[in-house]
Amino acid sequence: MSTMTLEAPAVVPPLAKPDIRLSFRGVLRSEWVKLRSVRSSAFTLLGAAFAMLAAGLIFASTIGSGGDGPGPGGGGVADPTSIALSGVMITQLIIGVLGVMAVSSEYSTGMIRSTLTGVPSRLPVLAAKVAVVVGAVFTTMLAVSVVVFLGAQAIMSGADLPTAALGDPGVLRAIVGSAAALTGVAVMGVAFGSILRGTAGAISTLFALVFLAPGLGQLLLPTSWRDDVLKYLPSNASGSFTSVVPDPSALGTTAGALVFAAWVAVPLVVAAVLLRRRDA
């Protein structure tokens, strides 16, 4: 009688779970698509460009017709470049909103959970958001700064006012510095949007830091402290590299750039730490 030999069933290895994590290039591409496809972001960037352009041209036209120069009205224009770039201050608020919305809009819709599921380490998401905001803001604001500079100089030249050229000492530094300062404020917006996870709170914080703090300092600080403290605020520190003729009480160009960079870096580091530690 023959003996049947039973073979053990073959062990089927478990199916490997597909790796759905994105590479940094994929995360970067995804964030660029988000920024470009959200209509409010595009309108905000266009609004910032328009504000920068309009402010510089209007200010140059006003000086040309109103008498703050050696021409028809006679006075004196100390820094034609600063006149052209006078829209930097108001544009900071608009561009800061763009940075905030790059993050807070995902928290308001809950889409941030899906984003972080695909990128468990999380930090590449923040890095990609910063990268696309920096790329969009810096290139746009640099182009607008050059255009408004050339337009304002043409207006002032027609009014027989002193003008500046791109090759003059300090002019290119002021133009590039203005684009860099606006980009830095946008990155601060990204950081505050990530920290506070809400549009209103992040915009209010940014507004208070950039716009309210200098005015409150003028009102509340003792006179003996005022200049020494206020020059370290972000808006005043950036003035050291966004104008050809900076305020005599301001920081030097290098010191101002380093202080401004610190104002950008510190909230960004805080945002990175909190992003890793908190639930989505």
Confidence band (pLDDT; 50, 70, 90) for 134?
very high
**pLDDT for the residue numbered 224:** 79
Mean pLDDT of the chain: 85
**pLDDT for the residue numbered 66:** 60
**pLDDT for the residue numbered 74:** 38
Q: What is the mean pLDDT of residues 11-37?
A: 71
Dist. CA 126–CA 164, nearest whole Å: 40
Angle at alpha carbon of residue 234, lines to 230 and 239, rounded to 5°: 85
**Residue 139 main-chain phi, psi, to 5 deg:** -65, -40
Angle at alpha carbon of residue 157, lines to 155 and 161, rounded to 5°: 105
**pLDDT for the residue numbered 100:** 95
Residue among 77, 86, 133 at smallest CA distance from 242: 86
Angle at alpha carbon of residue 261, lines to 80 and 153, rounded to 5°: 15
213 exposed, middle or buried (CB, 10 Å; 0-12, 13-18, 19+)?
Answer: middle
Specify the range with the lowest mean pLDDT, choosing from 83-97, 145-159, 247-261.
247-261
Q: What is the mean pLDDT of residues 102-114?
A: 87
Residue among 92, 100, 245 at smallest CA distance from 162: 245
Higher-pLDDT residue of 189 and 218 is 189
pLDDT exceeds cutoff 80 at 144: yes
Question: In angstroms, how far is the first alpha carbon of the chain from the final one?
Answer: 69
Q: What are the tens digits of pLDDT across the range 242-272?
A: 888 777 778 888 999 999 999 999 999 999 9
Confidence band (pLDDT; 50, 70, 90) for 39?
confident
For residue 160, give both structure tokens: 């027989």
Dist. CA 251–CA 124, nearest whole Å: 34
Q: Where are the alpha helices (DSSP H) in the chain?
A: 24-37, 39-66, 80-84, 88-109, 111-118, 123-158, 171-196, 199-207, 213-220, 223-230, 234-238, 253-277
Specify the range with the lowest mean pLDDT, choosing from 53-62, 130-139, 212-221.
212-221
Q: What is the mean pLDDT of residues 64-85?
A: 62
Q: Within 13 Å of residue 182, how many CA atoms lie on the same side as its CB?
A: 33
Length of the chain (residues): 280
Residue among 32, 24, 78, 44 at smallest CA distance from 185: 44
Specify the range with the lowest mean pLDDT, choosing from 49-58, 112-121, 122-131, 177-186.
112-121
Sequence ranges of the domains in the chain: 24-277
In the chain, pLDDT over 90 holds for what percent of residues? 50
pLDDT exceeds cutoff 50 at 76: no
Residue among 75, 56, 53 at smallest CA distance from 160: 75
Q: What is the mean pLDDT of residues 38-44?
A: 90
Amino acid sitting at position 75: G
For residue 140, give both structure tokens: 């746009």
Confidence band (pLDDT; 50, 70, 90) for 13?
low
For residue 116, give both structure tokens: 């972080």
pLDDT exceeds cutoff 50 at 69: no
Q: What is the mean pLDDT of residues 129-141?
A: 96
**pLDDT for the residue numbered 208:** 93
